[in-house]
Amino acid sequence: MYSGAVTGWHAHKVTLDRLFCCAGSVRISLYDGRKASPSFGKVWHKIVGALRPAIVVIPPGVWHGVAALGPETALLLNLVDKAYAYDAPDHWRLPPDTDHIPYKLV
């Protein structure tokens, strides 16, 4: 991701995401959209990268978006537990400034 780049919000129905930033740094923002969850409606942020390595595990139903921080290009790996099925996509997308989530990625 180029410096300053921002993704839109993204969530899966059944797929588990694992995000790891191995170069540069990013802010991963999560919004729990699972109505039965004790953290429903909460927003959480984690800054990770070469100087703060961590894998962020994102369960199904949790919305997530990423912003590249700092001047260098960030390399973000997305390690999913299921291969993408083009005939039956398992994802929902929202823009980074959606009113459906109480945090703007931009």
**pLDDT by position in tens, the chain (length 106):** 999 999 999 999 999 999 999 999 999 999 999 999 999 999 999 999 999 999 999 999 999 999 999 999 999 999 999 988 899 889 999 999 999 999 999 8
> Pick from 42, 48, 77: which is nearest to 63 by CA?
42
Domain residue extents for the chain: 9-79
Largest CA-CA distance found in the chain, in angstroms, rounded: 40
Q: What pLDDT is attached to residue 8?
A: 95
Eight-state DSSP code of residue 97: T
Place of tokens 């929202």: 94
**CB 32 within 8 Å of CB 39:** yes
> Pick from 92, 87, 26, 88: which is nearest to 61 by CA?
92
> Pick from 68, 30, 62: which is nearest to 46 by CA?
30
CA dist., res. 106 & res. 103, Å (int): 9
5: number of Cβ within 10 Å: 14
- pTM higher than the cut 0.85: yes
Residue range 9-79 forms a domain whose CATH class is: mainly beta
